[in-house]
Amino acid sequence: MALTFYWYPKCGTCRNAKKWLEQHNLSFEEVHIVEQPPSKEVLENLYQKSGLELKKFFNTSGQKYRELGVKDKMKTASEDELLTLLASDGMLIKRPLVTDGSKVTVGFNEQMFEENWK
């Protein structure tokens, strides 16, 4: 099972997730989330497969999130508008984002990775 691993190399959480994947001998394709952010269509697909709320895809602790006032936009923006915003800047996306085409995880939690990717 080849995974797609959207990450930001300077992110400690992403590095921990990558190390976990490597330790478990999982093959994955690395995608730099800032240099090659997923398109709106890809994000919409991942969101639908994840079963998560759309707000879980936002990097709420990020500087960009605060700068753009996304917290306030969340209250009134449509799903389509939020997906467009998310696709506009990889720094807005919570990372790492991992998928095998049918399952999706957002962020890194060792137990979640054990359940989904082992």
Domain locations in the chain as residue ranges = 3-117
**Residue 88 three-state SS:** helix
**How high is the pLDDT of residue 12?**
97
> Is this prediction's pTM over 0.85?
yes
Q: Are strands 104-106 and 97-99 parallel, antiparallel or unpaired?
A: antiparallel
Residues in contact with 70: Cβ distance below 8 Å, sequence separation at least 6, in sequence order: 58, 60, 85, 92
**Residue 84 three-state SS:** helix
Low-confidence ranges of the chain (pLDDT < 50): none
CATH number of 3-117: 3.40.30.10
Looking at residue 95, the DSSP 8-state letter turns out to be S
Dist. CA 113–CA 21, nearest whole Å: 9
Dist. CA 12–CA 116, nearest whole Å: 21
**How high is the pLDDT of residue 87?**
97
Dist. CA 73–CA 107, nearest whole Å: 22
Per the listing, tokens 């049918």 go with 102
**How high is the pLDDT of residue 1?**
61
Supply the DSSP string of 37-62, one letter for each residue: PPPHHHHHHHHHHHTS-GGGGB-TTS
